[in-house]
Amino acid sequence: MSERFLTRFAWLSIAAAVVTIALKLAAWAVTGSVGLLSDAAESLVNLIGGCLALAMLTIASRPADEDHAYGHGKAEYFSSGVEGGLILVAAAGIIVAAVGRLMHPRPLEAVGLGLTASAVASLINLAVALALLRAGRRHGSITLEANARHLLADVWTSVGVIAGVGLVALTDLLWLDPLVALLVAANIVHTGVDIVRRSVHGLMDKALVEADLETVRGVLRRYESDGVHFHALRSRQAGARKFVSVHVLVPGDWTVHRGHELLERIEADIRNALPGSTVFTHLESLEDPGSWEDQTLERARRPGA
């Protein structure tokens, strides 16, 4: 599944953000709740994040070229990283507004109408978030997953805000409104930090998750009964594309043709077991001592070399 197909989910996110911003701004306008204003601010970040996701998924869908031999998949990490940063900026704005309202409380108006608009916006966000989360996990897209998690955080934010505004209407405790906004900001900070952390891991070529690595090891173990050995298994991920490399050690008296056929079978088996993966193999002789000296990223300099 190409990143170009995934752009339709980014368009869905953008459309949902536009609708929910309108609903939440209307809710804030009629109530004057700083909690609802904070909720609307986060939806504005959703819109920016959706636009950025669309741009980065479009770039990530470009095929490999001479300047980008491994494709453009890492563009997704820029999208998720920037979105995480925008979430933190939104949290800072919410904190400023909430502290100001704590110092200068004001009564809320038309609470029922405002809460209804906010609830409808939350249901829209929930439906879109679940669709994006399924697509992101199915196709290995950190951009869609980050966008979905942000939307889910927005849903929980809205639930908290609705509860807070409702309590204010029932109790006349005006300080509950900015208090809920501060709790919302704390939740947003947690989400933003986690998204930024995952984006940094991707840009730093963090290895595939253990479940994926175990899938690769399972494929390799099927060949070990034939006297084939493996080492230097390395992996990384660039957006939806997974990269795996491994050294394959065979008896030194094998022909090049026999070794090549083995590598072709191993690579095909790994690709079938791990969809969306690109596999690199390196053939070595079991009897050559040098074959056992190159298991680190920086191969040791051999004597006399």
Taking a C-beta distance cutoff of 8 angstroms, is the pair 25, 40 a contact? yes
Domains annotated on the chain, with CATH: 3-203 (1.20.1510.10), 210-292 (3.30.70.1350)
227 phi-psi bin (left φ>0, alpha ψ -120 to 50, beta other) = left
Question: 279-303: per-residue pLDDT in tens?
Answer: 999 999 988 887 777 766 665 555 5
Q: How far is CA 294 from CA 126, 206, 301, in A?
A: 50, 20, 9
CB 239 within 8 A of CB 199: no
Mean pLDDT, residues 220-225: 89
Cα(276)–Cα(139) distance, integer angstroms: 8
The answer to whether residue 305 scores a pLDDT higher than 60 is no
pTM comes to 0.62
Name the more confident of 216 and 83.
216
Q: What angle is formed at CA 128 by the lines to CA 126 and CA 129, rounded to 5 degrees?
A: 65
* CB-based contact 232:283 (threshold 8 Å): no
Looking up tokens 């400023």 gives 96
